[in-house]
Amino acid sequence: MDREAIQRLVNQAYAARSRGQVEELMEAFGSDATFELFGDKRTLPITCTISGHQNIKQALKQFSTDFEFLEREITSFLVDGDRAAVHSRLKIRFVPKDRTFTTELVDLFRFENGKVAELVEFTDTAQLKEIISA
């Protein structure tokens, strides 16, 4: 994949995620993809590593139900071969408690055959724990 194809795929996936369109979002992922919300599982149980298209789909459905992405500002987008790193600032609503917050994310992607093969997402897990727990 070239840089433009990677950017297009990621931007389409981000747009689908913002609209809560998980089926459309999943079009970006390969069948054997992995997704990881990085963090200490003892501190924040929603941090996890998930493998396989169907498992990722189920997890992203739950994340989309609980966390509504209201705004995304991409502050940097780096592509190197089959990898990309995206730093974003997001305004998110935690739906179960109707709490809105702003945070930053770094997504590390690896691509195979025109699809996301691996996505590792880094966020402020202390902030996320506070939002969920409060």
* Entry pTM: 0.93
Determine the structural domain holding residue 38 and report its residue range.
3-133
* Whole-angstrom distance, CA of residue 76 vs CA of residue 45: 29
C-alpha count within 13 angstroms, C-beta hemisphere, residue 14? 22
Tokens standing for residue 127: 């902030």
pLDDT at residue 82 tops 90? yes
pLDDT of residue 46: 86
Return the sign of the alpha-carbon dihedral for residues 71, 76, 77, 81.
negative
* pLDDT given at position 67: 95
Kindly report the CATH number assigned to the domain that includes residue 36: 3.10.450.50
User: How many domains, the chain?
Assistant: 1
